[in-house]
Structure 1
Amino acid sequence: MTPRRRATLRDIAAALDLSVNTVSRALAGKDAVSEETRERVRAEADRLGYVPNTMARSLVLQNAMTIGLVITNPSNPFYARLISAIEARGRVHGYSLMLMVTEDSADNERRVAEELMRWGVDGVLAVPIQHGTDHWERLEKSGTPVVLVNRDLPGLDADLVGVDYRDSARRATELLVASGARDLYLMEEDLDISPVAERVRGFEEVLDEHGIAVGYDHLIRVPTRRREASSQPWDPIDAYEIGRDLAQRIRPGSAVLAGNDYFALGLYRAFTEQGLRIPDDVAIVGHGDHPFAAYLAPPLTTVRLPAAEVGATAVDRLLERMAMESTVEPGVHGRTLLPAEVVVRASTREVP
């Protein structure tokens, strides 16, 4: 079967005995075209199934009306919400979204940057793997502004929009200290990225300010799963296995701050199997406020991350850079870190 040819402006013009220019102006809502002609053109366009050729228009205007989004893993609940927010915000301004996934692979990230350059997107929002800047610098030199999202990349002269993870860890740790915990643990993914480093920093700062010692075994690293293609980046089984050993040595009245709710989920099972009561024997705080957090027994105290706000703010920042990129001086790019919210539930003890 011969595929049906796509209808063009010329087809509409021929059917109505009008010029192509008149048809184009009518569909674009331009002046100097009567309402009667506009209605005739629209009706004929509907009859023929005419769809504007966005790629051809982009070549003429040198504007693809497309934003590239580079993320590490779409199954991460934070990034799933982020993608939705970015797509919605971009759509408001007439931009489509080109999603690229790196799975935290340096090779994938370099390939993705080259592809975005070839496609000629108008701007790029990137969650970087945080190893190497050359490919992002080439993209910027080609005239495509880059805004970093959620992860910093020292050495790259670009804006950053993300979460204030240091502050979120500080406030969560302050809550645990205020509730009486003096033996505190931090469980984090074994991945060298800025969100993890900032949470460790916030945790240690609070304990130091309160004169609470942090032993070498109080910073617990969980092997990363993020380099497993198309996988859920975290699995409760990892924290569960570590939690079973931790339950044997943890002291009553202790507390664990987990870098994500999946780790907290694994700890729940490990601790309860060992007869530890949450929060009486050990308090737990997570990160992410995933849907299951409120339905655990007891409901999990956790940090609610502003994914939608990060996405919308990142799009706005990118649009600003796209509008003024030629006038931006090196080194004047800014950092916007949005606050998270500590959602207090029953997995932590009451503050006296």
Structure 2
Amino acid sequence: MPPVRRRTLRDIADSLDLSVNTVSRALAGKDSVSEYTRALVRAEAERIGYVPNLHARSLVLGSVMMLGLVITNPSNPFYAQLIHAIELRGRAKGYSLLLVVSDESEEYEARAVDSLLRSGVDGAIVVPVQGETNPWGQLHRMGVPVVFLNRDLPGVERDFVGTDNRLGARQATEHVIARGARSVVLMEEDLPITTVRERVAGFTEAMASAGLPCDERSVVRVPTRRDEQMALPWHPDEAYAVAQAILDRPDRPDAVVVGNDFYALGLYRALAERGLRVPDDVLVVGFGDYPFSEFVAPPLSTVRLPAEEVGAAAVDLLLERIVGSADPTPLKRSFAPTLVPRGSTERRPTS
């Protein structure tokens, strides 16, 4: 059976005895076409199975109505939420989304730039790898607006929309201090990116403000798997091994702040094996508020990230850059996270 020929504007025009120009204006919703003709054209387009040719449309409009989104790892729960929020916002504005995954690889990141240029996207929202190179200047030089998402590139003047990770870590640390913790450890990912540096900064600020000791042993690094192109960027087993070492210290901490909720799973196991209880012996607070966090025992206090707000704001800013309606000065916008207290930091009163 031969393939069915793709339907065109000419097919609709011939069927209705209209000009191609009239059909095109009717489908585009132009005011110069009557409501009756517009309804007639749309009904015929649906009947014959007409699908707009985006390439042809781009030649006319100078736009493919497509946004590029480059993510390091879409299995990161926060990034999965961002993808959804960005797709919804873009769709509401008439844009489709081209998703490219860089896998924390500078090589794949460079390929992503090439893919976006070849696809002719109108603009790009990017989570940069933060390696030794910055390929995103190429898009900028080609007239393609770029908004950095979640991670910034220090020293690069470009729009940024993300979460205030420093504030989130400070909130988490102040939360356990307010509940009596005096020896607090931060378990944080061993990855040289701005989000990690910001959380470390927020932790140390909170400790200093409370007059509590904070030295190189107060921030413990968990080996990352993000640069190994793993489907899941974090695994509780690395956190479990690190937690064992922390809990075996003579000066065992009475609270642990973890850089993401997955680490709390490994920490919970290490605590249970030593007969230590959360929160009576050790307070635990996470970061991310992932779907499982309220179902562990005890439910995990954590910092909820504003994915919907960040994603929508990134799209809105990018669209402003595309049409040239915004002040050209690079904008840096961070949204505040929300502390969600649960059972892992609520000690039972002693009788």
Short-chain TM bin: over 0.9
| 184 and 35 in structure 1: CA distance in 2 versus 1, 3 angstrom threshold | closer
How many angstroms does 1:33 deviate by? Answer: 3.6
Letter in 2 for 1:103: D
| 215 and 57 in structure 1: CA distance in 2 versus 1, 3 angstrom threshold | same
Per-residue CA deviations over 1:65-106 (Å, capped at 9, x if unaligned) read: 111001100000000000000000011110111001001001
Letter in 2 for 1:187: M
| 215 and 250 in structure 1: CA distance in 2 versus 1, 3 angstrom threshold | farther
SS at match of 1:313: helix
How many angstroms does 1:215 deviate by? Answer: 3.4
Q: Is the 8 A contact 1:86 1:311 kept in 2?
A: yes
Name structure 1 gaps, 5 residues minimum: none
For 2:326 and 2:163, the matched residues in 1 are separated by 28
For 1:210 and 1:327, the matched residues in 2 are separated by 41
* Partner residue, 2:331: 334
Per-residue CA deviations over 1:246-282 (Å, capped at 9, x if unaligned) read: 2222646610000000001110011011111111111
SS at match of 1:293: coil
Residue 344 (str. 1) matches residue 345 (str. 2) = no
Q: Is the 8 A contact 1:179 1:351 kept in 2?
A: no
* Partner residue, 2:297: 297
Q: Percent identity of the aligned residues?
A: 56
SS at match of 1:295: coil
Residue 311 (str. 1) matches residue 311 (str. 2) = yes
| 36 and 179 in structure 1: CA distance in 2 versus 1, 3 angstrom threshold | closer
For 1:191 and 1:89, the matched residues in 2 are separated by 30
* Partner residue, 1:137: 137
Segment of structure 1 superposing worse, 129-138 or 278-287: 129-138
Segment of structure 1 superposing worse, 247-256 or 314-323: 247-256
* Partner residue, 2:78: 78
SS at match of 1:287: coil
Letter in 2 for 1:231: A
For 2:207 and 2:115, the matched residues in 1 are separated by 46
Q: Is the 8 A contact 1:162 1:336 kept in 2?
A: yes
Per-residue CA deviations over 1:195-223 (Å, capped at 9, x if unaligned) read: 11001011111212222222322211111
Per-residue CA deviations over 1:276-323 (Å, capped at 9, x if unaligned) read: 111111110000111111111111110001111110111111111112
For 1:23 and 1:208, the matched residues in 2 are separated by 68
* Partner residue, 2:267: 267
* Partner residue, 1:93: 93
| 74 and 251 in structure 1: CA distance in 2 versus 1, 3 angstrom threshold | same
For 2:55 and 2:121, the matched residues in 1 are separated by 11
Q: Is the 8 A contact 2:247 2:253 kept in 1?
A: no
How many angstroms does 1:44 deviate by? Answer: 2.4
| 28 and 319 in structure 1: CA distance in 2 versus 1, 3 angstrom threshold | closer
For 1:56 and 1:70, the matched residues in 2 are separated by 25
For 2:331 and 2:12, the matched residues in 1 are separated by 49
Residue 170 (str. 1) matches residue 170 (str. 2) = yes
Letter in 1 for 2:337: A
| 114 and 250 in structure 1: CA distance in 2 versus 1, 3 angstrom threshold | farther
The number of aligned residues is 349
For 2:36 and 2:319, the matched residues in 1 are separated by 37
For 1:280 and 1:351, the matched residues in 2 are separated by 7
How many angstroms does 1:114 deviate by? Answer: 1.8
Q: Is the 8 A contact 1:67 1:122 kept in 2?
A: yes
- TM-score when normalising by structure 1: 0.94
Letter in 1 for 2:332: R
SS at match of 1:239: helix
Residue 211 (str. 1) matches residue 211 (str. 2) = yes
Letter in 1 for 2:64: A
For 2:29 and 2:323, the matched residues in 1 are separated by 24
Q: Is the 8 A contact 1:236 1:266 kept in 2?
A: yes
C-alpha root-mean-square deviation of aligned residues, in Å?
1.9
For 2:307 and 2:28, the matched residues in 1 are separated by 36
Letter in 2 for 1:101: V
Letter in 2 for 1:333: P
| 44 and 100 in structure 1: CA distance in 2 versus 1, 3 angstrom threshold | same
How many angstroms does 1:15 deviate by? Answer: 2.2
How many angstroms does 1:131 deviate by? Answer: 2.1
For 2:326 and 2:331, the matched residues in 1 are separated by 16
Q: Is the 8 A contact 2:123 2:144 kept in 1?
A: yes
| 225 and 325 in structure 1: CA distance in 2 versus 1, 3 angstrom threshold | farther
For 2:250 and 2:324, the matched residues in 1 are separated by 55
Name structure 2 gaps, 5 residues minimum: none
Q: Is the 8 A contact 1:244 1:274 kept in 2?
A: no
Letter in 2 for 1:340: P
Q: Is the 8 A contact 1:252 1:281 kept in 2?
A: no
